[in-house]
Amino acid sequence: MGYRAIVIGSSTGGMEALRIILEVLPKDFPVPILVAQHISSHSDNYLAKFLDNVCKVSVKEAEEKEKASPGQVYLAPPNYHLLVEQDGLISLSVEARVSYARPSIDVLFESAAEAYNRDLIGIVLTGANSDGSRGLKKIKECHGLTIVQDPNTALAEAMPRAAIGATKVDYITPLTEIGQLLNKIIKGKSGDKSGYE
């Protein structure tokens, strides 16, 4: 069995970074993508509408208890943590902020690592804090695949550098190459992860 889900964490500069990655994915991309982007608690769903308009994959804000489906991108709604349950259902939480953030990247990554184990890809993008580093480490411990945006291509380097410092990352990749890397991994050797461990 190949990869069953991708999780992405982004903060400062994330809107443009997400656009660059997601717009190269085909409409029939065969796994769901769950995204925790640090946004204002008072934000409307502009980010979901913007990305849905420019991408072939469908992009929406996640809803409580919906099933994560292939070819769909789910964004954490403002002021909610986004989690994945063991059965692949999406869960939303208003529990305390983690690393000053809700949605927290660590919360998404850790729950997804427990749900998907080795069948998960985790990606940390641009951001100005260390959110995501603990979650990416958890994904690696569960034998998932880890990708971090090359800090030299990030609007804010702190988050990718913290992730690189936290665990042995499989790929440190320039922003403009991450989308094609995902296409290659998912389309190509998605069932063969022997080289990643």
* Residues annotated as catalytic (active site), given as ranges: 11, 38, 131
- Rounded Cα distance between 15 and 163, Å, is 19
By the 8 A CB rule, do 144 and 111 touch? Answer: no
- Rounded Cα distance between 84 and 111, Å, is 6
Which has the closest alpha carbon to 85: 115, 117, 122, 118?
Answer: 115
Which has the closest alpha carbon to 129: 38, 31, 46, 17?
Answer: 38
Rg (CA), the chain: 15
Residues 6+ apart with CB under 8 A from 28: 70, 71
